[in-house]
């Protein structure tokens, strides 16, 4: 890679860093290209040249920064191990749950955010079905689908937000409550939990 290409890549990374920081701490609608340009030390035109629009910049940040980080956090999960699953999900929420809740609140009015929310929900549901496969496989299809839906609710960012921020529980207490809720759900469904 030549010097010019390296400089362009560095500029792109600075823009993504600045945008990620701003979008993590403010509502999408409150962040402007000018804000990002100022934080990155570039012009608005430079951002447009690299990403085309604020929506595209946001989507690039999700795909290149947020999704890989979530995957990294969840990579250590042992399939079927409730404690490792809960630990991984809640570690992700402690890191980016607030910005996720803010994004979801605006998803109904911003098309780019609606797509991110929909894709994220689908990915979360797929992941839940994969990591809880040993438990879900113990049930018939209808009961397995019901249990998966309820696991998605218990491990949803809004559940974390309610317990952590609205109810004021510590991170450790939220972990214990969700772990207990999953155990109760499994027992009520007749599933052996392996823990």
Q: Say how far apart CA 52 and CA 66 lie, in whole Å.
A: 20
DSSP state of 162: I
CATH numbers and ranges of domains, the chain: 1-61 (1.10.10.60), 76-190 (no CATH)
Mean of pLDDT values over 87-115: 92
Selection from 181, 159, 36, 62 nearest residue 101 by Cα: 159
DSSP 77: P
pLDDT value of position 194 = 56
Helix axes 82-106, 67-74, angle to 10 degrees: 160
Instruction: Taking residues 30-56, report their average pLDDT.
Output: 95
In which region does residue 192 sit, left (phi positive, over 0), alpha (psi from -120 to 50) or beta (all else)?
Answer: beta
Burial class of residue 14, CB neighbours in 10 A (0-12, 13-18, 19+): middle
pLDDT band of residue 4 (cuts 50, 70, 90) is confident
Q: Hey, which of 3-7, 62-66, 159-163 has the most confident mean pLDDT?
A: 159-163
Please give the pLDDT value at position 100.
93
Report pLDDT digits (tens) over 24-39. 889 898 999 999 999 9
**The pLDDT value given to residue 192:** 76
What is the model's pTM? Answer: 0.86
pLDDT score for 90 = 98
| Residue 84 to residue 123: CA distance in whole angstroms | 18
């Amino acid at each position: 890679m030549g010097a010019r290409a390296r400089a362009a890549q560095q500029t792109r990374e600075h823009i993504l860093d600045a945008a990620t920081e701003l979008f993590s701490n403010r509502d999408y609608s409150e962040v402007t290209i000018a804000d990002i340009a100022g934080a990155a030390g570039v012009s608005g035109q430079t951002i447009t040249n690299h990403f085309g629009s604020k929506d595209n910049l946001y989507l690039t940040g999700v795909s290149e920064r947020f999704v890989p980080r979530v995957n990294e956090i969840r990579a250590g999960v042992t399939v079927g191990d409730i404690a490792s699953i809960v630990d991984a999900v809640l570690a992700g929420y402690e890191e980016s749950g607030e910005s996720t809740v803010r994004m979801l609140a605006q998803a109904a009015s911003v098309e780019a955010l609606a797509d991110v929310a929909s894709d994220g929900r689908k990915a979360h549901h797929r992941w839940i079905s994969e990591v809880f496969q040993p438990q879900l496989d113990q049930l018939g299809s209808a009961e397995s689908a019901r249990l998966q839906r309820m696991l998605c609710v218990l491990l949803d960012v809004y559940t974390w937000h309610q317990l952590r921020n609205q109810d004021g529980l510590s991170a450790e207490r939220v972990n214990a409550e969700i772990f207990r809720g999953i155990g109760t759900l499994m027992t009520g469904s007749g599933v052996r939990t392996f823990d």
